[in-house]
Amino acid sequence: MKLFHQKAMLFSLTCLGIIVLNSCAQTTPYEEEKRIIVSPHKLSAHSGSEDPVFVKVLDKQGGPLFGMKVTATSTSPTVATVTPEKITDPAGKAVFIVHGISPGTTKIIFSAVEQKAAMEVVFIGH
C-alpha cells in the first residue's frame, strides 16, 4: 500500500509540474490582421467643396468590423480638412467629409485598430 501512495504522490507532483511549466511558457499573443480600405485613393478638391471619402475596416478574412473607431487627420490642414472621427457601421464602413480650403497637396491619414491608410488630396482651384 505504501508503494501505491508513493506512485500516486509522484504522479500528482509530475502533473503539477507539467501544469506549472505550461503556464510559464512564453506564447505569442493572438493578433488578427485587419485592413483599412479607402475610396477614392486620390481626391481633387475645390475651394469650399465637401467630398465624401469611404473607409472600410475589414478583418483577416475580409469580413466587416462593426463599431470600430476610425480617426482621420490631414497632414496639411491649410489645404484640406477632414471629419476627425467616425464609427464603422454594420458593413464596416465609415464616411468622412473632406473640405477643400486652399491650393496645394495634402494626405489624409486614416487610423483604426492599429492600422493606417492614406489618400492624397490635391486642391485644384475654385
* CA–CA distance, 63 with 24 (Å, rounded to integer): 34
- Its pTM stands at 0.72
Q: What is the mean pLDDT of the chain?
A: 83
What the chain holds in terms of domains, given with CATH numbers, is 35-123 (2.60.40.10)
Work out whether the CA dihedral 117, 40, 89, 76 comes out positive or negative. positive
Average pLDDT of the residues in 88-105: 95
10-66: per-residue pLDDT in tens?
A: 555 454 545 544 554 444 344 468 999 999 999 998 888 899 999 999 999 999 999
Cα atoms in the 13 Å half-sphere on the side-chain side of 125: 0
Contact 96, 52 (CB under 8 A): yes
Give residue 33's pLDDT.
82
Give residue 20's pLDDT.
47
Helix (H, G, I), strand (E, B), or coil: what is residue 36?
strand
Using the predicted structure, report yes or no on whether residue 95 has a pLDDT greater than 80.
yes
* CA–CA distance, 74 with 102 (Å, rounded to integer): 13
